Protein backbone atom coordinates (compact mmCIF):
# COMPACT_ATOMS: atom_id res chain seq x y z
CA UNK A 1 0.00 0.00 0.00
CA UNK A 2 1.20 3.50 -0.77
CA UNK A 3 -0.42 6.82 0.03
CA UNK A 4 0.80 9.92 -1.73
CA UNK A 5 -0.46 13.26 -2.99
CA UNK A 6 0.72 16.45 -4.64
CA UNK A 7 0.95 19.92 -3.13
CA UNK A 8 -2.52 20.92 -4.39
CA UNK A 9 -4.28 18.00 -2.74
CA UNK A 10 -2.30 18.52 0.50
CA UNK A 11 -4.11 21.78 1.23
CA UNK A 12 -7.52 20.16 0.77
CA UNK A 13 -6.55 17.11 2.84
CA UNK A 14 -5.31 19.28 5.73
CA UNK A 15 -8.73 20.87 5.99
CA UNK A 16 -10.54 17.55 5.70
CA UNK A 17 -8.31 15.94 8.34
CA UNK A 18 -8.86 18.84 10.72
CA UNK A 19 -12.62 18.58 10.33
CA UNK A 20 -12.58 14.81 10.85
CA UNK A 21 -10.46 15.19 13.99
CA UNK A 22 -12.78 17.85 15.34
CA UNK A 23 -15.83 15.72 14.56
CA UNK A 24 -14.44 12.59 16.24
CA UNK A 25 -12.59 14.16 19.20
CA UNK A 26 -14.68 17.29 19.72
CA UNK A 27 -13.67 20.56 21.29
CA UNK A 28 -10.85 18.89 23.26
CA UNK A 29 -8.86 18.80 20.01
CA UNK A 30 -8.17 22.50 20.61
CA UNK A 31 -5.84 21.51 23.46
CA UNK A 32 -3.69 19.64 20.95
CA UNK A 33 -3.87 22.34 18.29
CA UNK A 34 -0.36 23.81 18.89
CA UNK A 35 1.23 20.35 18.58
CA UNK A 36 -0.83 19.49 15.50
CA UNK A 37 0.10 22.78 13.81
CA UNK A 38 3.80 22.30 14.63
CA UNK A 39 3.67 18.73 13.35
CA UNK A 40 1.87 19.79 10.15
CA UNK A 41 4.31 22.61 9.45
CA UNK A 42 7.23 20.18 9.42
CA UNK A 43 6.33 16.57 8.70
CA UNK A 44 4.32 16.42 5.51
CA UNK A 45 4.92 20.02 4.49
CA UNK A 46 5.05 20.59 0.74
CA UNK A 47 6.13 23.26 -1.70
CA UNK A 48 4.67 23.81 -5.13
CA UNK A 49 5.79 21.11 -7.53
CA UNK A 50 6.27 18.43 -4.89
CA UNK A 51 4.61 15.06 -4.44
CA UNK A 52 4.52 13.67 -0.91
CA UNK A 53 4.75 10.00 -0.03
CA UNK A 54 2.82 9.76 3.22
CA UNK A 55 2.81 6.00 3.79
CA UNK A 56 4.41 2.92 2.32
CA UNK A 57 3.50 -0.49 3.69
CA UNK A 58 4.14 -4.04 2.58
CA UNK A 59 3.05 -7.07 4.60
CA UNK A 60 6.09 -8.63 6.33
CA UNK A 61 5.77 -11.92 4.45
CA UNK A 62 6.05 -10.04 1.12
CA UNK A 63 8.99 -7.79 1.97
CA UNK A 64 12.19 -8.23 -0.01
CA UNK A 65 10.27 -9.14 -3.17
CA UNK A 66 10.50 -5.72 -4.83
CA UNK A 67 6.93 -4.69 -4.00
CA UNK A 68 7.92 -1.52 -2.10
CA UNK A 69 10.22 -0.49 -4.94
CA UNK A 70 7.48 -1.07 -7.49
CA UNK A 71 5.01 0.98 -5.42
CA UNK A 72 7.39 3.93 -5.24
CA UNK A 73 8.23 3.75 -8.93
CA UNK A 74 4.51 3.77 -9.76
CA UNK A 75 4.02 6.78 -7.47
CA UNK A 76 6.85 8.57 -9.29
CA UNK A 77 5.23 7.74 -12.62
CA UNK A 78 1.90 9.11 -11.38
CA UNK A 79 3.58 12.26 -10.04
CA UNK A 80 5.22 12.92 -13.42
CA UNK A 81 1.80 12.75 -15.06
CA UNK A 82 0.79 15.67 -12.83
CA UNK A 83 3.93 17.60 -13.83
CA UNK A 84 5.54 17.20 -10.43
CA UNK A 85 9.31 17.56 -10.30
CA UNK A 86 10.23 16.35 -6.84
CA UNK A 87 9.20 13.47 -4.61
CA UNK A 88 9.45 14.03 -0.84
CA UNK A 89 8.85 11.88 2.20
CA UNK A 90 9.52 11.88 5.91
CA UNK A 91 10.97 8.89 7.68
CA UNK A 92 11.64 8.29 11.35
CA UNK A 93 15.33 8.83 12.03
CA UNK A 94 15.60 5.46 13.78
CA UNK A 95 14.15 3.55 10.82
CA UNK A 96 17.52 2.74 9.26
CA UNK A 97 16.10 -0.03 7.06
CA UNK A 98 13.63 2.37 5.41
CA UNK A 99 16.24 5.12 5.08
CA UNK A 100 18.58 2.72 3.26
CA UNK A 101 15.72 1.51 1.07
CA UNK A 102 14.87 5.08 0.01
CA UNK A 103 18.54 5.86 -0.62
CA UNK A 104 18.83 2.87 -2.95
CA UNK A 105 15.96 4.36 -4.94
CA UNK A 106 17.71 7.72 -5.27
CA UNK A 107 16.27 9.66 -2.33
CA UNK A 108 18.61 11.92 -0.35
CA UNK A 109 18.31 13.31 3.16
CA UNK A 110 17.71 17.05 2.87
CA UNK A 111 16.61 17.93 6.41
CA UNK A 112 15.80 16.79 9.91
CA UNK A 113 12.82 17.58 12.11
CA UNK A 114 12.65 17.27 15.86
CA UNK A 115 9.22 17.65 17.42
CA UNK A 116 9.17 17.74 21.22
CA UNK A 117 6.23 16.06 22.90
CA UNK A 118 5.15 16.08 26.51
CA UNK A 119 7.79 15.03 28.99
CA UNK A 120 11.09 13.96 27.53
CA UNK A 121 9.64 12.33 24.40
CA UNK A 122 10.52 13.63 20.96
CA UNK A 123 9.74 12.64 17.41
CA UNK A 124 12.71 12.73 15.02
CA UNK A 125 12.32 12.59 11.27
CA UNK A 126 14.49 12.94 8.22
CA UNK A 127 13.07 14.68 5.16
CA UNK A 128 14.17 12.83 2.03
CA UNK A 129 13.70 13.90 -1.55
CA UNK A 130 14.27 12.78 -5.10
CA UNK A 131 14.33 14.91 -8.25
CA UNK A 132 12.11 13.19 -10.84
CA UNK A 133 12.02 16.01 -13.38
CA UNK A 134 14.89 14.56 -15.40
CA UNK A 135 13.70 10.94 -15.48
User: What is the three-state SS of 53-73?
Assistant: EEEECCCHHHCCCCHHHHHHH
d(CA 104, CA 115): 27
- Containing structural domain, residue 55: 2-131
Mean pLDDT (the chain, rounded): 84
Is this prediction's pTM over 0.85?
no
The mean pLDDT value for 25-53 works out to: 71
- Asked whether the beta carbons of 9 and 53 are under 8 A apart, the reply is no
Task: Say whether pLDDT at 127 is over 90.
Answer: yes
Task: Say whether pLDDT at 45 is over 80.
Answer: no
Which residues are CB-contacts of 103 (< 8 A; sequence separation ≥ 6)? 128
d(CA 48, CA 51): 9
Please give the residue that has the higher pLDDT: either 116 or 77. Answer: 77
Q: pLDDT at position 42, please?
A: 58
Total domains in the fold of the chain: 1
Task: Say whether pLDDT at 111 is over 90.
Answer: yes
Q: pLDDT at position 30, please?
A: 65
The mean pLDDT value for 65-91 works out to: 94
Write the CATH number for 29. Answer: 3.40.630.30
Sign of the torsion angle spanned by Cα atoms 15, 19, 20, 25:
positive
Task: Say whether pLDDT at 16 is over 80.
Answer: no
Amino acid sequence: MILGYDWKIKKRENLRTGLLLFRSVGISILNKLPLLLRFNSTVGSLCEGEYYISNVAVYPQYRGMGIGKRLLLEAEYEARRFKVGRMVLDVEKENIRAINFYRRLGYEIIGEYIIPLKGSKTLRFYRMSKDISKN
